[in-house]
Every structure is written in C-alpha cells, then in structure tokens.
Structure 1
C-alpha cells in the first residue's frame, strides 16, 4: 500500500507538472513590479526573501519562476504530496510542514534553508480561511530578519473550483496579470501585539495587490510601467543549464 501511494503521488505530481507547463504556457502574462530587484530571475536580485501570495494562484509562480532557488512551504497533508512532486519537477525545493505549529528545530531548518534559498509561502493555506493571512509568515520574517515580498495574481474571468480557496483555473489564451508590492520589513523579536499588527498590515497589502491584479486582468487595459512576464529561471541557471527534479527538504514542524 505504501509503495502504491508513493507511485500515485509521483504520477499525480507529474500530471500537475504537465498541466502547468502546457496550460499555463497559453496565457498572456503582464506584470507591474514595485521593485524589479525583488524578482528572483533578475540579474540584480539579492536573496533571500519570503514571497507571499494566495493559495488559489499557486500555478502562476510555479510556471513563471522555475529553478529560481525557491523553497516553498507545503503542508504535510497527503493532499499536498502531488503538489510537492510537481514542485520538484518545476525546480522548486519544498519544505513540508506548517508555520502554524513550530519549534526551535523547525525554525533552525528554515533558517538554514534561507541562507541560500528564498522562501515562498501561501499564508492562507493549507486549509484557509480564504485570503486570511495566518501569522506564521510574520513570525518567520521576524525571526529570520527577512523581508516579505507580497504579490497579487489575477486572471481574466477564470473558472473557480468548489474548494475552500475557490482555486482559480485560468481560461486558455486569456490574460494573466501580476502586481508585486514593496518589501515589507518586519522588526525582530515582536511581541504578540506587534505580530498581529504586522499580520493585519500584510494581509491588507496582499489583498489590495490581488484585487488590483484581478481588476487589471478583467479590464485588459494597458498600464503605465507594465512589462511582459516571461518564464525564466535565475540567471546562473540560464547560463549553465538546469536539470529538473531538485531535491526536497523535509522537516517536521510538529
């Protein structure tokens, strides 16, 4: 049974990977970037940062920024096994667990990963509520002294799945828009009130960016400063070539 589940996860992950590569390649991507230096595919990028975006738009960064030295935090729940395998094929490293529950050992593992990798978190995952930012990413940014980089994603009239996050499935050949915000610096060693204050602020910023990206995608209007977003790995990978299937980091946060 264990081997069967393992193969189911691998095949399911491969199917998700194929979907993301083929389906998402049909979209028209445009972006507004507050600071281009926060793009991990930019020549001037300086790691490490914590990227945050809503769970319903996971395929977009998967497709646009493969092999960019990003470790994505994914649940240890079985539902995330397929996603973890797909992320591996896309060149993402994965950290299995949740920032809702943690400990010194888990933070040490994340701290070690952040020395050479960026972190990516969907702060309303893995179970919601939808578009409500859990405090874990704020706590992590405070402890690791890393900036949060929020970005919103929007599709033109996507299909919505009957899931807790109303997962967005873009229509083929439709518009996809990305709006990135400024770095959010979280002071170290915040108390509970401080964490909540920054949590509310980050949630507000991320929702505003998401609303702006969605409205832009639907309108189809041209925006001053917009750039076409291409699928790109990090510069060093572009120069040297890359292999699919980067290893995963598996840590326990319980």
Structure 2
C-alpha cells in the first residue's frame, strides 16, 4: 500500500478519531437486540475458519457488533475505505488491506493465511465499489481454498441516515433501536458446484438483510 503524505494522513487520522467517537456514541445511545446469536455460536463450535459477510451498505452493524471477537476485516486501499478501516482498527479489528483491483494477490494470500489458521474474517462481497448486492469471486475462492464456513450478518436501525451512493450506506441515528441478525450458515461442503455455492451465499445474504429490515417496516 502506497503511504499517504503527511497532510493526507493527518486528515484521515482526524476524520477517523471523530468518526470513531461519534459512531461509538450513536451505537451506545441505541437499544440493541441480537437475533439468531446461536448461529454465531454454532459456527465457532465447528473449529473451522469463518467468513462473516454482509452487503457493503450495512457494514457498520457487524463492525460495531463483533469488534471484541478477535476478528480480521478486509478493506480496500482506496481513500473511501481509509476512514472506516482506521475506525475499525480503533475498535479492535485486525485489518487486511486490498481489493480485486488493487493489492489483490497479496491480500488474498494474507486472507488465506488467516483462514488456514482457523481465523475469522469479515468482508463485504459487493465492495468496495459495487455493483450493489452482486457477489464477487473473492468470498467464493476464499471459502473453497480454506474450507471456511460462510456466515451472513446484517443490521438495521429504527431511525437512520442513508447516504445516496451506490451502496445506500446506512448510519443509525441515536435514541432508537438497532437489530443485528445472523443468517444461516452456508457450508462449502454442502454444495456440489461453485455456482450452487455462490447462489446459496447470495440468497442467504439477501434473506438476512430482508429479515432485519422487516423489524422496522
């Protein structure tokens, strides 16, 4: 990763500092509910690597729910990802930096090293720049090469700000309710073809997000 210059680095540090505290306060000021926590518990009992996934627009919910679980997170090298990567790092996430377009080979090797040691990695399969809700190959290859379990996780809040960009990025407003929901485990061992596995992941991610949205509709 090419380092940012001193001024850019200072700006990112300031944005990350204020963003960290602002989001931490917002999540603290919401009542939070966890649905299907047993799916997370079941995944960990299998003693295998875990790929945690959600659509890019909902990434704040896993970031603020699993930050004490010793997980890694994958983030791109572009400037848009820099602030959230630094915020996640402040929360306790161990960051892997790269994407299919920049640093892809290097970060894939790092990702497999973590997974092959039965690590837990969070990623957004439609990131870093879309198309929205379209599964990219990284999660498929990672699961197949490491025998990882895929576990969708999403979230929603009773009152939100929604950024009007490609992923419809969601930020909770304070003084409301937040729901985190774990989807059903998707095990690569249960599928006879890559296409079946890909479709199963997408369907479960879509279902998980639809289920959490239904709490507030």
TM-score of the superposed pair, with normalisation by structure 1: 0.75
Equivalent residues of 1:37, 1:46 under 8 A apart? no
The SS at the match of 2:188 is: coil
Give the Cα separation in 2 of the matches to 1:200 and 1:99.
20
RMSD of the alignment, in Å?
2.5
Equivalent residues of 2:97, 2:107 under 8 A apart? no
The SS at the match of 1:35 is: helix
Partner of 1:74: 75
Q: How does 1:216-235 map to 2 (within 5 A)?
A: 216=215, 218=216
Equivalent residues of 2:96, 2:107 under 8 A apart? no
Equivalent residues of 2:48, 2:148 under 8 A apart? no
Unaligned runs of 5+ in 1: 220-254
Equivalent residues of 2:48, 2:147 under 8 A apart? no
Q: Which moved more, 1:75-84 or 1:89-98?
A: 75-84
Please list the CA deviations of residues 15-42 of structure 1 after superposition, one character each: whole Å capped at 9, or x if unmatched. 22112211111112112215241577xx
Partner of 1:26: 29
CA radius of gyration, larger in: 1
- Is 1:60 the counterpart of 2:61 in the alignment? yes
Equivalent residues of 1:177, 1:213 under 8 A apart? yes
Query: How far 1:135 moved relative to its partner?
Result: 2.3
Unaligned runs of 5+ in 2: none
Partner of 1:228: none
Task: Report the structure, 1 or 2, having the larger helix content.
Answer: 2
Partner of 1:203: 202
Number of corresponding residues: 211
Query: How far 1:117 moved relative to its partner?
Result: 3.1
Query: How far 1:158 moved relative to its partner?
Result: 2.1
Give the Cα separation in 2 of the matches to 1:110 and 1:67.
19
TM-score of the superposed pair, with normalisation by structure 2: 0.86
Query: How far 1:153 moved relative to its partner?
Result: 1.5
